[in-house]
Amino acid sequence: MRGTVALSPTPASQTQHKPVYSFGRSILGLDKCNACIGTSICKKFFKEEIRFHNWLSPRLKLHPSFKKSYPGNYTDDSENWRPVVVSRLLTKYKHDVSDTNICASEAKGATCSIENVLRSTKRFQKWTSSNLLTPDLVQGLSSPMLRCPSQRLLDRIVRRYAEVLDAGSMLMKHFTDRDKLRLLYTLAVNPHPIMLQIFPGTEGWPFVRYYGSCGRMMVSTSTKPIRQSYGSSSETTADLAYQLLHVTQSLRTNGLNFLLYYTRVTDDMFGTFEDGRLFITDASTIGVIDKQEGLHQTDDRLQDYRDVFSCLSLNCKSSLPCQTVRESQSLLLICRDILPKLLQPSQNQNKNLQNEMDRLISLCGNSTLSDSSIINAANALMNLLQPLRPCSQHFTYRYPECKYNNAF
């Protein structure tokens, strides 16, 4: 099976009478490495320990081209399976456009060796000659995470990068040129998998688990999109709204002294695990400011830092300067774009309570107010929502603790 990936229907339904399909390496994007994410989880695919769901087309192509993610299953022992999401950094269509733009940047034809083009850039030549990832090496990239990078943040990226064998050192001496290109490519296209690695859920961060990558596909924990909870019972929506505010506050104030902030929010950005816990499922639009080292604003006026890597995500627009990021920015976006849909009026909801919720949501979503007013309104809303949260054995991650906690 070397060089192919086995595909089956969902593991539970597979029998000896079911056909086993296989498709080429191009589905995973292995034919595009080393302009890819990595290969840390390829063996799982080759051993059929990661499988896509059975909705794949008869031609064995991941469709439609505008989809970024696909449901799948993952196992460590071939008996116990867990749901996962297999996703691209960009949609297949956008990846193709990006690759075409790489060829065009060197006046190549419609097709070329995109890896050779990227390797020949001035930026990558600097990467190959450096053992330390410094702010100038990422300057000009469009990622919100790298808009104002500190050395402490970049050291953390190198130490936590899971696609190399010897993680743990802030020096890139153990990185091959291939490893450096993969890291640079990922940071330039979509830093989502990097965010999951440097701020892992095992350390209390509200991000889904990163299992690994193969080619241009990455595997992470499966969740239920938060939009599926719109219109649910009042206790369910109150619990999710409370968690959403709590998670957002924790990104603003944490022990590492990093300010993680939303640049925009969508329904697809948040999801819930089977036990009711809320996670951030898409970290691609989250920026990072190092409050310990201060701002290191990049300067896009220097054309030397604008190159093909600046547009690999097809988002060539520069992010707003770090100095313009408000302390309340993430809460403001949540209150404006998510909470009104989550905390809709309910027939079973006390009218006075609903009116107070609506008032506080309006306040914390009002960009004309001061940061302190927005934060205070969000805190007041959390206090209002806290006693409405259910204390039930169905929410195993906080039961039975809540049963014996008067402050719950």
* Confidence bin at 252 (pLDDT 50/70/90): very high
Closest of 375, 85, 346 to residue 236, by C-alpha: 346
pLDDT of residue 54: 55
Q: What are 221's strand-pairing partners?
A: 84
Closest of 267, 247, 257, 263 to residue 205, by C-alpha: 247
pLDDT of residue 24: 60
H, E, C per residue of 133-183: CCHHHHCCCCCHHHCCCCHHHHHHHHHHCCCCCCCCCCEHHHCCHHHHHHH
Q: How far apart are the C-alpha atoms of 55 and 58, rounded to whole Å?
A: 9
* Dihedrals phi, psi of 335, to nearest 5 degrees: -70, -30
Tell me how many degrees the CA angle 98-121-35 measures, rounded to the nearest 5: 45
- The 10s digit of each residue's pLDDT in 117-135 is 999 999 999 999 999 999 9
Q: How far apart are the C-alpha atoms of 113 and 99, rounded to whole Å?
A: 9
Do 219 and 41 meet the contact criterion of CB atoms below 8 Å apart? yes
Do 88 and 37 meet the contact criterion of CB atoms below 8 Å apart? no
Instruction: Give the burial string for 336-351 (b: 16+ CB within 10 Å, else e).
Output: bbbbeebbeeeeebee
Least confident of 93-97, 247-251, 304-308: 304-308
Checking if the pLDDT of 66 tops 80, the result is: no
* Confidence bin at 17 (pLDDT 50/70/90): very low
More confident residue, 73 or 66: 73
Checking if the pLDDT of 27 tops 90, the result is: no
pLDDT of residue 3: 40
Q: How far apart are the C-alpha atoms of 215 and 27, rounded to whole Å?
A: 9
Closest of 317, 313, 309, 301 to residue 105, by C-alpha: 309
Closest of 177, 161, 10, 195 to residue 89, by C-alpha: 195
Closest of 157, 119, 120 to residue 138, by C-alpha: 157
pLDDT of residue 398: 79
Least confident of 175-184, 252-261, 297-306, 338-347: 297-306
Q: How far apart are the C-alpha atoms of 314 and 102, rounded to whole Å?
A: 11
Residue type, 313: S
**What percent of the chain has pLDDT above 90?**
64
> Is 354 exposed, middle or buried (CB count within 10 Å of its CB: 0-12, 13-18, 19+)?
middle
pLDDT of residue 408: 61
Tell me how many degrees the CA angle 315-316-318 measures, rounded to the nearest 5: 105
Q: How far apart are the C-alpha atoms of 21 and 7, rounded to whole Å?
A: 5
* Confidence bin at 56 (pLDDT 50/70/90): very low
Tokens of 123: 């930026």
Checking if the pLDDT of 7 tops 50, the result is: no
Checking if the pLDDT of 5 tops 70, the result is: no
Least confident of 8-22, 242-256, 315-329: 8-22
Determine if residue 109 is left, alpha or beta; phi over 0 gives left, psi from -120 to 50 gives alpha, anything else beta. Answer: beta
Closest of 383, 381, 295, 291 to residue 331, by C-alpha: 381
pLDDT of residue 401: 76
Q: Which residues contact 85 (CB under 8 A, 6 or more apart)?
A: 69, 70, 71, 72, 208, 219, 220, 221, 222, 223, 281
Report, as an integer, the average pLDDT of 246-256.
94
Checking if the pLDDT of 22 tops 60, the result is: no
Do 93 and 66 meet the contact criterion of CB atoms below 8 Å apart? yes
Q: What is the secondary structure of 274-316 as a DSSP string? A: TTS-EEE---TTEEEEETTT------TT-GGG-SGGGGTTS--
Residue type, 34: N
